[in-house]
Amino acid sequence: MKLSPEELLLRWANFHLKKAGMSISNFSGDIKDSKAYFHLLEQIAPDGSKEDVPRIEIDMTGLYEKDLTKRAECMLKQAERLGCRQFVTATDVVSGNSKLNMAFVAKLFNKYPALTKPDNQDWNNVESETREERTFRNWMNSLGVSPHVHHIYGDLQDAMVILQLYKTIKVPVDWDKVNQPPFKGKGAGHLKKMENCTYAVELGKKKAGFSLVGIGGQDLYDGNPTLTLALVWQLMRRYTLNVLEDLGHGAVAGDDLIVSWVNKTLAEAGKSSSIKSFKDKAIGTSMPVLDLIDAIQPQSVNFELVQKGSLSDEDKLNNAKYAISMARKIGAKVYALPEDLVEINPKMVMTIFACLMGRGMKRA
């Protein structure tokens, strides 16, 4: 059983909310009134049963505040008592910003899971998503594919997402050849999905010029991990090259061009941050990225949520999560992971700044 991060967090939240007679199905509309958050905090707060972990009593009176923004602020004050007031403001809660709210819930999950491991649970059947899979899935979803990709293999079985990605990288798709969902009937549905998968591989070989030796439509339909990722990797690589060509007005934009634009934009906005390269140590704090986001869209970043000074690994990761969330919030199609910033992965760091540059140039 393979769960996406969203599904895992929803399952965890609902496990605790069930005790309060509640459930949620998303991190947007279902949490706007803060009620679910209040009850979740109450369920996961330390009860004093563990040594050296004092009991924390959650003040639930904020539930009766009629103004939703004030209610959300009351809830966040309780989260602060747990050391978990990161990523969201009261406005983010009330507006239902799903990315920032999911980051907030992830923080709660990581710090106070409040779970025990059942003796009879076979944990070998629960597979976690690999970092590579998460990067590819983030990239697809950043482009607004439909349906949203939760499982990188299962959700590509009808090739509809793959075909949308071809369109994004400017490979022409003959939609008259594509079988559209819903796919009714077990036998007929199987054949229609297979036809789509075969067409997707054919496009890659004949139109996109991809190296797809030994890959057939059956491999996509079966969710073969190695062969599916081989195709997706080439799609993402072509997309990145297209982005760089757009920035370079036809020629692939090099590192120097992007770094120069970043520093010029930061300086013009009066920011103190700057970078020498995509290996600059300052990138590990996420401050250059956050400053650049705020330069592109002034006052978009709440710097009170940003950790400063001597940073622990957890502080750096929290900053990186916030930076990635805010980059997407202002419309940059960022698909790198927070870990890429913390570890200063130059190739993925380049894609972050390239996507922000593309967004900034559109606003100019």
How much is the pTM? 0.69
> Among residues 331, 354, 299, 342, which one has the least CA distance to residue 89?
299
* 63-102 pLDDT per residue, tens: 999 999 999 999 999 999 999 988 899 999 999 998 899 9
β partners of residue 154: none
Cα 213 to Cα 102: distance, rounded to the nearest angstrom: 39
Is 125 within a domain?
Answer: no
- Amino acid letter, 105: V
Q: Could you tell me if 159 and 103 lie in one domain?
A: no
Please say whether the beta carbons of 341 and 351 come within 8 A.
no
| Residues 214 and 266 placed together within one structural domain of the fold | no
Question: Tens digits of per-residue pLDDT, 133-162?
Answer: 889 998 998 898 998 888 888 899 999 999
Domain boundary among 221, 247, 273: 247
96 with 54, same domain: the answer is yes
Whether 120 is covered by a domain: the verdict is no
The neighbour count for residue 81, using CB atoms within 10 Å, is 14
Do 145 and 240 have their domain in common? yes
For residues 31 and 105, membership in a common domain is answered with yes
Residues 185 and 201 in one domain: yes
Q: Does residue 230 carry a pLDDT above 80?
A: yes
Cα 100 from Cα 328, distance rounded (Å): 10
Both 241 and 268 in one domain: the answer is no
Range of the domain at 27: 5-111
Count how many domains the chain has: 3
Which CATH number characterizes residue 160's domain?
1.10.418.10
Contact yes or no for 169/239 (Cβ under 8 A): yes
So what's the pLDDT on residue 7?
86
